Amino acid sequence: MAFYVAAPLSGNLPSTSCARRSSADHNHAALNLKPRFLIILKAQKRKNYSLHLIKSVVKKLKSNISNGDDGKTEPARVLLERLYAKTQNLDFNCPEDAEISTSLKVLKSDIEAALLALRRKEEDLQDAEKRVLIEQRKLNRTKKDLERREDEISAASARQQQMEEELKKAKGNLASQAIQIRDLKIFIEEQGKEIARSATSLSERESGIEKLKSDVMKKNEEAAILRSEIELKDRLLQEANETLRKQEAEIEDLRKELEGKEFELAESNKLRKSKENELKIMEVELEKQTVEWLAAREEFMELTKHMDDMKETTEDFKRVTSLLAAFRSELIASQESLASSHRKLEDQALQFEKQMQELSEQRVLLMSYSENLKFAQLEVDSKANELRAAHAICEELESNLLKEREMVEHLQEELSRERESLEQKSTETRSLQNELRDKEMQFQNSQSLLQEKESELAEARLQIQHMKSELASIQLIVQEKDSDLSDAKNKLVELSSEIVALQQLTKSKEDQLVQAMSTLQDKEEYIQIMQQELDDVRLRSLEATSVVQKIARLTDKLVISVEGEEEEALTNDTDYSAAFTKQKQLETQLEMVKESLRQKEMEFLDAQRALTVKQEELEAVHRSLAQERIGNRSVGELAIEKLQIEAAQLEAEAATTALRKIADMTNQLLKDGYASLNSGTSSFVPPIGEVEKGGGSNLNKNFDVLVKTEKEVAGLFALTENLVKEAGISSFSE
């Protein structure tokens, strides 16, 4: 399949390259130097972007196709279909792009063939993978069944061995159980005799222990009485100690209070002495101030004596009097404060004396308390010695009691041990009797089980033989499935090699597609220049429509003038029937021209409607390609420009066809006018007799009308010729 697809590709590549070169040469020869320079610049600017976009799409195709070897070929097929759909959207309608369109069509056919081959290979690969998976599942199931059967066989054989071993053990156990039963019977008889002997010795020891218990109870009562007396003395001693501790604490508190008060008295004495010193200093200052005040007063008295002489110094005198009054008030205040401080010092001295008396009294009380405390301490020490002696006696009694109690407890423990041993022996004898019964029952049961296991062992041997035969058949089936699976894997390897060949083929197609897209990029630049020229053609077509409208108006005027002249000729002269028929022919020809112009106008309107339809399609393409602007920008722009060029070409073709038809009609009209003019002049020549009769005036009028029509037709012909030249139709002048 790969060689079948590669053959048309190798044959089509030279033709596409030659066609692309010839079309490019033709297009570049048709263009001027300036548009060619613009095309080269714009192509260099946009070439990198388009190539980068194409390479990214090609990489995606490669990656998705390479992923197809793992069984996931759906993305590669989707991308190839998308690429084919994008190439289908490219519509090559320009005559200059015909050769490139043929090469791209060949490339499309090659890509279609590669896509079909890839689809077939993918379908074959998917079918093979499905078959391989189904066979793999079946093989896994059979292997699991085989393993399960092997496990069952091994378990059955293990069970058989275990049952054989259990049978051997059961036979040995039966023999040992018979021996144990005989030994147990002998042992039970000996235990009964020992229990009877131990019961008699136990009763004798219990009577001796009861006597010891009564002696211990008496001694316990005596010790309890001594203990109660000692506890009373101990309680009294503790109370005395507590009272002594309280008194010692009170004495310590009193001592601390005395020390604090002595310290406070010393501090207050220091403060009193410092205040006395301050008072002495203040008294000295007051004496100085009083002396100064007396001196100032004497000066003031002297000044009052000389007051009449010193009227000029009244202001100074007033100041001095105010100063003396202030000084006097300060002196009085200081004397009062000094007197109050004297009184305070006297009060403090009295309080100090009282506190000293209280301290002396407290010292006396403290001395008496300490002496009483010493006497009480001596009494407490004597009672404590007595209590220690009583404690020693009590401890001796308690130690003796403890020894006796220990002896009694030891005897009780021995008695309890013997009792427990006796009970244990009795329980052991009971248990041995029960065991003897159980073993007899087990012996009977084991004999019955031994018979059952022998029958089960025979059945297990038969099952193992049956399972071995089934295992051999399953192994044969598994070998067949393994061979089928290896064949399927070989087929998968072949299919993967064919897919690799198809990948190489698609790679070559991708290279061709990159080349085609580069040529399309160049064509995009050329189409932009053509778009500018088509805009100019649209402007000229609009001018042509205006000129056609002018021609229609001129023809209407010409028809109206011909009809008026015809009516005048009919009223003036009814003899010139030949001229009338010629004028009728000219009128019919003008009406035909008018109708043909109307038809051309209708065709022009149809062309405009077609243009509007194309513009709507162009807008729809704009809207649809706006969503694909990121990944498919170059293809969308090319499609839009193609539609624009198509619309402009339709407009230009409609305008040029209308102008050509107008030119043909004017040529035909001119020819008919000349023919009718020549025939009219010959037919309009009347006989000489009629001219002499006075009919020459009507002939001159008709001739003038024909001359006017000839001039108007000549002007119409010149106008259409100029219009065609402006539209760019050079072949019309021929």
Q: Which tens digit of pLDDT belongs to each residue from 562-582?
A: 666 656 555 555 544 555 566
Q: What average pLDDT does this structure show over 613-632?
A: 57
DSSP state letter for 286: H
Whether residue 17 has pLDDT greater than 60:
no
Backbone angles phi, psi at 413, to 5 degrees: -65, -45
**3-class DSSP string for 126-155:** HHHHHHHHHHHHHHHHHHHHHHHHHHHHHH
Q: How would residue 608 be classed by pLDDT, with cut points 50, 70 and 90?
A: low
Whether residue 50 has pLDDT greater than 70:
no
Whether residue 624 has pLDDT greater than 50:
yes
Whether residue 101 has pLDDT greater than 80:
no
Whether residue 340 has pLDDT greater than 70:
yes
- Give the pLDDT confidence score for residue 107 in this predicted structure: 62
- Give the pLDDT confidence score for residue 16 in this predicted structure: 39
Q: Report which secondary-structure segment, H or E, holds 200.
A: helix 98-305
Whether residue 70 has pLDDT greater than 50:
no
What is the Cα Rg of the chain in Å?
74
Exposure of 182 by Cβ count < 10 A (0-12 exposed, 13-18 middle, 19+ buried)? Answer: exposed
- Give the pLDDT confidence score for residue 732 in this predicted structure: 38
Q: Quick check: 596 and 665 in contact, CB under 8 A?
A: yes
Q: What average pLDDT does this structure show over 124-153?
A: 77
Whether residue 671 has pLDDT greater than 70:
no
Of the two residues 601 and 233, the one the predictor is more confident about is 233
Q: What average pLDDT does this structure show over 642-663?
A: 60
- Give the pLDDT confidence score for residue 712 in this predicted structure: 62
Average the pLDDT over each of 113-117, 139-143, 622-626 and give the range with the smallest value: 622-626
Residue 324 vs residues 307, 310, 320, 454, 732: alpha-carbon distances, Å: 17, 19, 6, 151, 144
Structure-block tokens of residue 1: 């399949």
- Map out the domains of the chain as residue ranges: 573-734
Whether residue 47 has pLDDT greater than 70:
no
Say how far apart CA 639 and CA 625 lie, in whole Å.
Answer: 9
Say how far apart CA 140 and CA 136 lie, in whole Å.
Answer: 6
Residue 444 vs residues 173, 355, 356, 431: alpha-carbon distances, Å: 12, 116, 117, 20
Amino acid sitting at position 471: L
- Give the pLDDT confidence score for residue 238 in this predicted structure: 80
Amino acid sitting at position 507: K
Average the pLDDT over each of 57-71, 119-133, 179-193, 401-415 and give the range with the smallest value: 57-71
- Give the pLDDT confidence score for residue 465 in this predicted structure: 77
Q: How would residue 214 be classed by pLDDT, with cut points 50, 70 and 90?
A: confident
Token look-up 């048709």 returns 30
Whether residue 282 has pLDDT greater than 80:
no
Amino acid sitting at position 52: H
Say how far apart CA 465 and CA 458 lie, in whole Å.
Answer: 11
- Give the pLDDT confidence score for residue 464 in this predicted structure: 74
Whether residue 134 has pLDDT greater than 80:
yes
Q: How would residue 481 be classed by pLDDT, with cut points 50, 70 and 90?
A: confident
- Give the pLDDT confidence score for residue 347 in this predicted structure: 76
Average pLDDT taken over every residue of the chain: 66
- Give the pLDDT confidence score for residue 597 in this predicted structure: 66
